[in-house]
Amino acid sequence: MSTEIPKPSVPAPDILRCAYAEYVVTDLAASRAFYVDVLGLHVTEEDENAVYLRSFEEFIHHNMVLRKGPVAAVAAMGFRVRSQEEVDRAEAYYRELGCRTERRAEGFVKGIRNAVRVEDPLGFPYEFFYEVDHVERLHMRYDLYSAGELVRLDHFNQVTPDVPRGRTYLENLGFRVTEDIQDEAGVTYAAWMHRKGTVHDTALTGGDGPRMHHIAFSTHEKHNIIQICDKMGALRISDQIERGPGRHGVSNAFYLYLRDPDGHRVEIYTQDYYTGDPDNPTITWDVHDNQRRDWWGNPVVPSWYTDASPVLDLDGNVQEIVTREESREMDVTIGADGFSYTRKPGDAMSGDPGEEVGFKMGHQL
């Protein structure tokens, strides 16, 4: 078991939100075609090495950078902080944690200056920034609005072997947990945590890591997600639809997971709930509740549990992956047929509609 991450004596930086991610892609033209032509993200700027993309309602330079490189990976997960002083705080905070940090006045990517990047204690490349170019916010450019429009960056999702360890680290950094998945023995399989008052800015998924599970963009409505499915069907790229569409249990959001040309996973997500009050209640789901990840009870495909993108260190090398020691959600929940209910008959709360289903399914097995 890995050691606990201490709480630094200096204050944590005031993080506003997850703001952008830098993805390394092996075929820039193919990735551009996916994110721009299929998903409709808007190009702020591009050159032969990189494409800078933003969502419909964004006013900062970008939410995603696609950078051409030899190995498909994630180079940075960017968080916007409240002021430039908060970038200094982030630097001091991670230095006290003993993490490698790098400050660049000119920024690491176009449109952002005076940023700090760190190799965080879980092995993820976090960036903290405030100074950023403002660009046209397209929110009322209905002349550009597509039927599957991606309107905001919503969250990141990170794979890490020891979820409670990561949770404590992120709580010390100022994140608040909104939901988690546990079993009867107290093993935590996943946790969702936020800064911006939604269900999450990032989530921890238990597994071999550090790896990036997905980046998620939101749409205004559920029908926008259905349109993305229809469009991908019409383009004959339905094999890039990995999971969904569906309704999540955790977060209550409507969702769809896609795989980009390099296999990086992107989630399309809409209509979770407000969590900004300090006493927002945390929801704990039983790992055996088969509606926790899909409210309609549809099974999660194995690739969703096993696949994720490598992350890079500050030199651009792939971070070494540490194996999860605790039990894996896929092993405790998916039967050979992929449809088995693992909640024991009678385990559901009385009055829970799942009780009857769990009972019936239990008899079928």
Which is nearer to ligand XXG, 35 or 257 (by Cβ)?
257
Q: Which of 119, 267, 286, 307 binds ligand XXG (CB under 6 A)?
A: 267
Q: Which does 189 bind (CB under 5 to 8 A by kind): ligand XXG, Fe ion, none?
A: none
Q: Please report the sign of the dihedral spanned by the C-alpha atoms of residue 85, residue 90, residue 93, residue 95.
A: negative
Which is nearer to Fe ion, 24 or 256 (by Cβ)?
256
Residue 105 CA, chain-centre distance (Å), reads 28
The residues pairing with 273 across neighbouring beta strands, listed in sequence order, are none
- Copy the structure tokens of residue 299: 């099974």
Q: What is the CA radius of gyration of the chain?
A: 20
Residues 6+ apart with CB under 8 A from 356: none
d(CA 113, CA 116): 9
Q: Which stretch binds Fe ion (CB under 5 A): 43-51, 131-139, 262-270, 357-365?
A: 262-270
Collapse the DSSP code of 361 into the 3-class scheme (helix H, G, I; strand E, B; otherwise coil) and give the result: helix
Q: Residue 157, interface with ligand XXG (CB under 6 A)?
A: yes
Q: Residue 249, interface with ligand XXG (CB under 6 A)?
A: yes
d(CA 319, CA 337): 35
Q: Residue 196, interface with ligand XXG (CB under 6 A)?
A: no
Distance from the first to the final alpha carbon of the chain: 36
Q: Which does 251 bind (CB under 5 to 8 A by kind): ligand XXG, Fe ion, none?
A: ligand XXG
Maximum pairwise Cα distance, the chain: 64
Q: Which does 248 bind (CB under 5 to 8 A by kind): ligand XXG, Fe ion, none?
A: ligand XXG
Q: Which of 32, 152, 293, 324 binds ligand XXG (CB under 6 A)?
A: 293
Which is nearer to ligand XXG, 32 or 243 (by Cβ)?
243
Which is nearer to ligand XXG, 23 or 93 (by Cβ)?
23
Which is nearer to ligand XXG, 130 or 255 (by Cβ)?
255
How does 187-205 read in b/e, with b if 16+ C-beta sit within 10 Å? bbbbbbbbbbebbbbbbbb
Which residues within the stretch 187-226 sit at the binding site for Fe ion (CB under 5 A)? 216
Q: Residue 267, interface with Fe ion (CB under 5 A)?
A: yes
Q: Please report the sign of the dihedral spanned by the C-alpha atoms of residue 164, residue 165, residue 168, residue 169.
A: negative
Q: Which of 101, 202, 251, 342 binds ligand XXG (CB under 6 A)?
A: 251
Q: Which does 250 bind (CB under 5 to 8 A by kind): Fe ion, ligand XXG, none?
A: ligand XXG
Q: Residue 25, interface with Fe ion (CB under 5 A)?
A: no
CB atoms closer than 10 angstroms to residue 84: 13
Query: By rule CB under 6 A, what count of residues binds ligand XXG?
Result: 12
Strand ranges inside 29-93, DSSP E: 42-46, 50-54, 64-68, 73-81
Which is nearer to ligand XXG, 117 or 155 (by Cβ)?
155
CB of 267 to ligand XXG, least distance (A): 5
d(CA 151, CA 63): 11
Q: Which of 17, 67, 196, 248 binds ligand XXG (CB under 6 A)?
A: 248
Residues that bind ligand XXG (CB under 6 A): 157, 203, 216, 248-251, 253, 267, 269, 292-293
Residues that bind Fe ion (CB under 5 A): 157, 216, 267
